[in-house]
Chains A and B, each alone.
Chain A
Amino acid sequence: MGVVDRTRDLELEDVALWDVGKKFGFYGAIAAMVAVSMFPVFWILLSSLKPPSELFVFPQEYLPYTVSFEGGISVEQQFPLTLENYRTALGQRPVGTYLLNSFIVASSTAIIDVVLGAMAGYAVSRLRFKYKLHVLLVILFAALLPFISRLIPLYRLAINLQGTPAGAVFGLNQYLGLILPYAAFQMPFAVWIFQAYFKELPDSLEEAGLMDGLSRVGVLFRIILPVSMPAMATAAIIVFIYAWNEFLFALTFMTQDSKRTITVGIALFGGQFNSPWGTITAAVFMSLIPLLLFMFVFQKKIVEGMTAGVGKA
C-alpha cells in the first residue's frame, strides 16, 4: 500500500468515526434535553404515587422497583405505589372543583377569542379599509400592556358592581370576572394567529364567491370560515393554555374556595415548609394532564400558534 492510499484510508476511517461521534453527540444532546425537560414531570408523578413514609426521606428513591441480578434475576420492590394522594386531593380537598372551574373558564375564553379573533383577523388581513394600520397598531399595543395595570381597576369595577344587576355578570367569584379579562388579554394573539392564516389564503377564494353572486357576508360565512378550522383550533388551544395557566387575576378575583381555579387552588395549598407534598404533587399532576395531552397530540397546532407570522414578515 502506498503512502497516499494509507493516508486516504486513515482519513476515511477518521471521517466515519467523526460521523459516528457526531451522530452520538447529536442524539445524546437531544436525549439530554428531553431528560432535563421532562424530569420534573416524572418526579411529580413519582412523588404523587409515593406513600408518606417514602416522601419525606433523604436520600430519595427514584424507582419503585429495581431489578437485582444476585442469585438469578429478581424484581425487588423498593416501595409500594399508592393512589392515596389522589384520593385525598379529590375527596378531602376540592381539587375536582378547581379543575372544573379552570376548564369552564379556559374553554369559554377560547370560544370568545376564536369568534372575535376570527372576525378581526379576517378584517385586517383581507379587507381594505381606511385606518387599517392604526387598527393593527392599537391591537398590538394592547398586547404590550402589563396585566398588573389592568388588575386594580377591574377589581375596583367588580367591587363597585356588587349588588347591582351587572354584578351578576361581572364580579368577584363570577366566571365572567375571569373570562372577560382573559379574553381581552389574549385577543391580540388570537387576531394575530388568524390574520397570519388568512393572509396565506389565495385571493381567488373571495373573487370566486363574489362572482357566484354571494355577498361579502356570504363569502365570509360560506367560504372563509369553513376553511379556517385549522386556525381556529390553533387559536383555541393557545388561548386555552393561557387561561388554564393564569394566576394573578384568578388569585384576586376568586375569593371563594368553590370558585378557585386549579392554579390558585394549588398555590394556596400550604406554606413552604410544612406542605402536604403528597396531595400537592397529586393535584399538580392532575393539572398537567390536559397540558400534556395538548402538547403531545396537538404539538403542530401549538407550534403554529406560537410562531404565527414569525419569519414571514
Chain B
Amino acid sequence: MADGRTEAGEVTRLGEEGLRGRLKRYREVRLTEEELAVALLTPVMLFLLAVSFYPIVDTVWASLHTGYVIDLPGKTTAFVGVENYLKLFSSESFWNALGVSLFYTFVSVPIELVFGLGLALLLQKEFKGKYFAQAAILFPWALPTVINAKIWAWMLNPEFGVISDILVKVGLLSQPFPFLSKPDIALYSMTAITIWKTTSFVALILLAGLSSIPDHLYESARMDGASRWRRFRDITLPLLKPTILVALIFRTLPAFQAFGLPFGLTGGGPGEATTTLVLYTQQVAYNNPGPTGGGFALGSAAATVITLLALVIALIYVGTLYEPEVR
C-alpha cells in the first residue's frame, strides 16, 4: 500500500512536496501511512513514558538516595550509593520475604500448569451446558485478589470456617483447624488458594493453544498407529510450547508480585510466614519505618530488586522456551 506516496499519488518527501503543499495536506487531514502511525502512537508512547517508564527510573534514583525522598524543609536528599541495598540485603525480613515469594510462585505455577492442562483437555470437548460450566469454572479468575483473600479468610476461620466443617463432616478432622495460624500451613493454604483461583486461567490460555493445533496431524499419527500417549507427547506438547511460554509468563509475574492475597488473608502472618516481597516492600515504604524514617528509599531499593528479578525470570523463560516459528 504505502510506497512513500499518499493515496492521491502525491510524493511525500518534503523536498518535492514543498512546505506549503505539506501544510495544505495537514489542513485537509490527509496523512501518509507513516504520519498517521506517528499521530496514533505518540499519545500512547508519551502516556507509557510518563506513567510506566519514568517511575521505574525514578525508583532506581530514589533507591540510591537518603532517607526522606519527598522534598520537605529541613530534610535534604543526598546520594548514598548502594547503602540502601546493603541495608536491604542485611535484613532478615527481606530474605524471608524473598523465600516466601519464591516458594509461593514456583510451587503454585507448575501445579497450575499441570492442572490447567488437564482442565484444558477436559474443556476441549463440546458438551451440553459448556457455556455455563466454563463461566463457572473461570469465575475465580475474575475475583479481586484481596476480596478473594477475605472470602477464604472467612472460609478458613479458625472457629467457624466451612472448610473445617467439611473436613470434620468427612472425618478428616475432629475439630476446627486454625489453618492460618500456623506458619507453614498458612503459606501452604495461601499457595493452594492461588492455585484454586488461577488454574482455570491457565487452562483457558492452553485451550486457545490446543485449538490451533491442526487436526490432520492427529489423524495421520493415528493412521500410523501412534498411541494416545505418543500423540500427546509428540504432537500436543511440542506444538503447545509457545502457548505454555505465554501461560508461564502471565502467571509467574503476577504470582511473584502477590500483594492482595497475603494482605487480606493473613496480613503477612503469623509472624512473617506469608509476607511476600511486595507486601514486605509496601510495609517498609509505608508502615515501618515509613516514609519519614527512610522507608521510601529502602522501599525503592526493594522495588528495584523486584523489577530486576521479574525481568530475569521473564528472560529465562523466553530464553529456554522461545523458538523461532517452525511451522
Contact surface of A with B, Cβ cutoff 8 Å: 26-27, 29-30, 33-34, 36-38, 40-41, 43-44, 47, 55-60, 116-117, 119-120, 122-124, 127-130, 132, 135, 138-139, 142, 144-154, 156, 159-160, 180-181, 183-185, 187, 191, 203, 206-207, 210, 213-218, 220, 241, 244-248, 251-252, 262-264, 266-267, 269, 272-273, 277, 280-281, 284, 287-288, 291-292, 294-296, 299, 302-303, 306-307, 310-313
Contacts and interface: CB of A to CB of B under 8 A. Distances in A.
B259 interface: yes
Contact of A144 (B54, B62, B71, B314): B314
B37 interface: yes
Interface of B: 1-2, 6-7, 28-34, 36-38, 40-41, 43-45, 47-48, 50-56, 58-59, 62, 69-71, 119, 122, 125, 127, 131-140, 142-155, 157-160, 162, 164-165, 168-169, 176, 180, 196, 200-201, 204-205, 207-212, 242-243, 246, 253, 256-257, 259-260, 263-264, 266-267, 278, 281-282, 285-286, 296, 299-300, 303-304, 306-307, 310-311, 314, 325
A184 B266 CA distance: 30
Contacts of B153: 272
Contact of B136 (A38, A47, A116, A213): A38
B127 A30 contact: yes
B144 A138 contact: no
A138 B49 CA distance: 10
A245 B43 CA distance: 26
B299 A152 contact: yes
B52 A217 contact: no
Contacts of B144: 244-247, 262-263, 287, 291
Given A26-B122, A216-B32, A248-B282, A55 B160 contact: yes
B138 A267 contact: no
Given A247-B145, A280-B150, A306-B205, A43 B155 contact: yes
Contact of A58 (B40, B122, B165): B165
26 contacts: A27-B127, A30-B122, A30-B127, A58-B159, A58-B165, A119-B41, A119-B44, A122-B40, A123-B36, A128-B34, A138-B48, A146-B278, A147-B278, A148-B282, A181-B51, A203-B1, A215-B29, A216-B36, A220-B36, A244-B144, A245-B142, A248-B260, A262-B147, A284-B147, A284-B151, A299-B138
Nearest to B303: A149
Contacts of B122: 26, 29-30, 33
Contacts of A248: 259-260, 278, 282
Nearest to B307: A149
Contacts of A36: 196
Nearest to A207: B1
Contacts of B205: 306-307, 310
Of residues B6, B32, B36, B132, which shows the largest number of chain A Cβ atoms within 10 Å of its Cβ? B36
A154 B300 CA distance: 12
A119 B43 contact: yes
A209 B154 CA distance: 58
Contacts of B51: 150, 154, 180-181, 183-185
A100 to B, nearest CB: 16
B39 to A, nearest CB: 8
